[in-house]
Amino acid sequence: MHMVLKWLLIPAMVAVGAMLAPHAIAQIDRRPHGWIWYTPTPQPSRPVKQTTSEPGTEAAAKLAGPSQWSTAWIREKLPRLRDLAIQDPSEKNVRAYLLLQHLAMDRAQRFAEVSMMVTQGDPTLDENTRFPLASAAAQAGVESAKQGLVSAIQVLAKTTGLYFFFSSTCEYCHADLPVLRTFELESGMKIVGVSLDGQPIDNQLFPNYLINSDQAQRLGVQYTPAFFLVHPPNLSDVVQIGQGYLSLQQLEQRIVEEAYYHGWLSPATYRETRIASPLYQAGVSPRDQHTLSSKDAALITSVVGSLPPRDHNGRTLGTPTSYSGLDGASPNADPQESHVPQMTE
């Protein structure tokens, strides 16, 4: 009897073990709880939306250029039409080139006409207000500028002096002596001669000349004669006027310009030395002001802001430029009627 029960219990135990085995394994493999052991629940993947572009869109974008009949379009096509007309001078090719060239010239002429009207109506843009175009008035302006130049140097002579580096064997130094005599008589500016070889050059003009020690090296003298403007009492305020022969006009002009640039001459005095009136305002250094009025600056800013945007290739984006043909025809008109050549790539 016991043997029978034993053989009956064995299959039952096997069945029960098979049922409990997964639960037991799960208990053995059980992991600790806590946020560090958290395993995120996998989310179902969303289907990726496939974007399809219309055929030829990218290619068309790459080939897009300036709007037809725009200035940029003409600038691009005109040289190519010229080359084509030279290489293959058929009636059609030559006519197309000449028509587009005529359009470009017509547009340039209209720009020139409007520019002339704008210039004549604005004294800020009219060069005649800076320097008269009539010969009689122009000569008077030249004479006035010469006198202003002498007056400016006479003002500078009160606060500045001139270093003259020379060599007794330098022919250009001897040639500049008459220039220096005239300059000294006109301006009254003190001229200090510095001999590079220790020898005199003109005992009457430079009876008390200096012998160079290291001044020429520190100032970078490489050629003679050499001229430097000094502004005492600070002897480090030394400005090079030039190295090599200078005429009287060159010497005076350079002295005035350098003195003004370094703030040793007032803008009002400098203005009197100019043949054409400076664009900047009188009494204000050009380094400290804007040459445009606030109204003009606002106008430029407004027009620049209205320009159509450009892509990364520099091509203008926006609506096509309107066309005014040679005879006022629309770009959509029949090419045979409007005489506008049709160009295709």
Range 143-275 has CATH code 3.40.47.40: no
Number of H helices, E strands in the chain: 12, 5
* Sequence ranges of the domains in the chain: 71-119, 143-275
* Terminal-to-terminal C-alpha distance of the chain: 107
pLDDT band at 320 (very low <50, low <70, confident <90, very high): very low
Summarize the confidence of residues 39-51 as an average pLDDT: 58
Give just the sign of the alpha carbon dihedral 143, 146, 152, 158. Answer: negative
**Predicted pLDDT at 189:** 94
Highest mean pLDDT of the ranges 16-20, 283-287, 314-318:
314-318
| Centroid of chain to Cα 281 | 23
80-133 tens-digit pLDDT: 999 999 999 999 999 999 999 999 999 999 999 999 999 988 888 888 877 778
How many beta carbons lie within 10 A of that of residue 318, not counting itself? 10
Q: Per-residue DSSP letters for 159-178?
A: T-EEEEEE-TT-HHHHHTHH
The tokens for 120 are: 């004549």
**Predicted pLDDT at 133:** 80
CA 250/CA 258 separation, integer angstroms:
12
The structure's pTM equals: 0.52
Give the type of residue at 96.
A
All residues at 6 or more sequence positions from 229 whose CB lies less than 8 Å from its CB, including other chains: 160, 161, 162, 163, 238, 239, 241, 255, 258, 259
Tokens 């892509």 label which residue? 311
